[in-house]
Every structure is written in C-alpha cells, then in structure tokens.
Amino acid sequence: MSYYLPQPPRAWSRVQDQCTYVNPNDNYTSVYSVLTNQTISLAQADYQRQLINKGNILQYKSNNANFTKKQKYSQLAKGFGPNRKKVFATQSTTYTNPNMTGLFRVGSTTIPFPNTIVGQPNNISGPYEYDVANPFDCSSNGSLVDGGHLVCGTYANPCTNEIIVENNSTSFICNPSYCSNVPGFPINLCWDTKLQPWYPKPRYFMNNSTDKWPINYKGFVSALTPEPPVIQLNDLLLSWTYINNCEVPISSFKIYVNNQLFISLPYTVTFYTFTTLNNNDTIYMTSLSNNTESKPSNTVIFMLSS
C-alpha cells in the first residue's frame, strides 16, 4: 500500500533564494557560478558574489549613457571608441604604410618585386605606382605585404613577422580598492568588462512570508496517481477493466487515439464503440482522480480485417 505525507519535510519561505546551481554530486559543497563560468566552493561563490556586486556599484551605471552592447559596438564601428584618435596607417602620393605601429599581421600576402601579376602593386603595367618602396626597408628586393588583419595589442617584427610582444590581456580588470576610494584595508577589486552593469533589485521585507505551509493552495496535486485500466480491442469495441483504489478513487477515463485525446468518459463506463478507425491506429487510456491523471495504459493497435 502506498502512503503520502501531505506535510512538507521542512518549512520554507516564499522568498527563499534558489540554489539552482548547487552541485548535489559532491554533497552540496560546490556551486556553478554563471558569471565566472567556474565550479567553485560555496565560500568562494559567496566572496565572488560580493566582489561582483561591489564592482557593479563602482561602475556608476546612473552616471553613464547606459548604452547597450549593440550601441557600444556601433560607437566603436563609427570610430567613437577609446582609440578614435590613434592612427594605425598613413598614405601620401609617395609613401604608404598600413601598419605604422608594427602590429602582428595575419592573413596577408607577400607581393615580390618585380611581379607579373596585373593589377598588383609594383607591376610594371600598372595601374598602381611602380617601384613602391617597402615602408619598413626590410630587404633590397622591395617586396610588399598586402591585405590581412592587424591583431590589436600584439606586436611583431615587420620584416619577419616574429612576435615581439603578445597580447595576454583578459576581460578582467583588477586594481587596488583605494583606486576607487573604497575605505578599509586595501584589497584587489576585479571587474569583468564582459558583464553589463545593472541596477540592484531591492529586497523588501514581506510580512506574509512565514514558515507555514500555504493553506488551500490550488496548485497542489496528489503524490499518488490512480491505476491505469487494462484495455482490449475487439474490432471497433474497446473494453477495459480497472482497480478502483479507495485512497485515489477514479472519477473518469480518457481515451487517446494516436497520442491525441479522443474522448472523456465517466468512471461508470467500461466499454466504448468506435464508429470508425484507420488501419494501424494506436489506442491507450488513462484514469483520472479529479485532476490527477494516471500513467498510460497498455496500447492496442487497430488492424483492418483482411
């Protein structure tokens, strides 16, 4: 016999924080942090939460333009970013240098001098100027590097493309707390620039949040379900037998044809005659105790007589 305890195993509050990302596989001693993409201990998670909240406050969201990520990208694309005054290339009638700062260049092609590729620089037939000098004076043959992309923050020898300084920067910016005028013992405060600052949501005191089980909650369903019927099909006649448990009394039945609800019937009915069925139609039933539905019964398949 099955038993169901209607009282909860522990008292809870309606505004209790959710622990969705606590890992049950290690006895609930670690948690997955969505913001940092790490699985860390509960103590570390609490420290990171405080650190991120402090960093968010120090962004002074109310004092900035509150641009979205798309708007910030649009500003950068228009040249309104922090490097809008920095010059990476220069050109005149006699001199061209597309990489003045010596950044690492990828995806480029080397054009020898002289070359026979029509339409390329240093081709004697033009249309570009002939005998263009290499801006870095790498070699006497005057070969040029054309196209490609510059890698920001990574510098290389313009002649050999050997990396001199590599960009190992991350999205995390860390500075001592006194840089932000935070009182107390100096510590390092870090902020992930990938995060979008937000307005903290205040937690109001709710005097209706107690430790009592909510009475008369309409969303409760029984932990016990009725037993499904046992069905059989004889031509178009569907009949069934069932066990009516006094703990979960059956109030009605549902007939499903091809996984679609076909008809609902009261519990007093034990057979139903279809007017028509298609070959290979699948049929099953469920029992209902008020709004609690049982598992599907056995399935029968209608086969046309040959």
Q: Phi first, then psi: what are they for 32, rounded to 5°?
A: -90, 120
Q: What is the DSSP letter of 7?
A: S
pLDDT of residue 200: 80
For residues 220-241, average pLDDT: 87
Q: What is the mean pLDDT of residues 142-162?
A: 82
CA torsion through residues 231, 232, 235, 239, sign = negative
pLDDT at 130: 73
Mean pLDDT of the chain: 80
5-19, 83-97, 128-142: which range is least confident on average? 5-19
In this prediction, residues 212-234 reach a mean pLDDT of: 75
Delineate the domains of the chain, giving CATH numbers in brackets: 23-82+170-210 (no CATH), 88-169 (no CATH), 230-301 (2.60.40.10)
Give the model's pLDDT for residue 1: 47
Residue 35: pLDDT band (50, 70, 90) is confident
Residue 261 pLDDT:
94
| pLDDT in the model for residue 208 | 59
- The pLDDT of residue 54 is above 50: yes
Beta-ladder partners of 260: 257
Tell me: pLDDT of 241 over 90: yes
Q: Is the pLDDT of residue 82 over 80?
A: no
Evaluate if residue 211 carries a pLDDT over 50. yes
pLDDT at 22 over 70: yes
Q: What is the mean pLDDT of residues 271-288?
A: 93
Please say whether the beta carbons of 241 and 267 come within 8 A.
no
Residue 91 is predicted with a pLDDT of: 85
Q: d(Cα 171, Cα 183) in Å, to the nearest integer?
A: 25
Q: Is the pLDDT of residue 29 over 90?
A: no
Q: How confident is the model at residue 262, as a pLDDT?
A: 94
DSSP per position, 89-153: -EE-SS-EES-TT-EEEES-EEE-SSB--TTSTTBTT-SSPSSPPPTT---TT--EEES-EEEEE
Asked if pLDDT for residue 260 goes beyond 90, the answer is yes
Residue 277, pLDDT score: 92
Between residues 296 and 171, the one the model is more confident about? 296
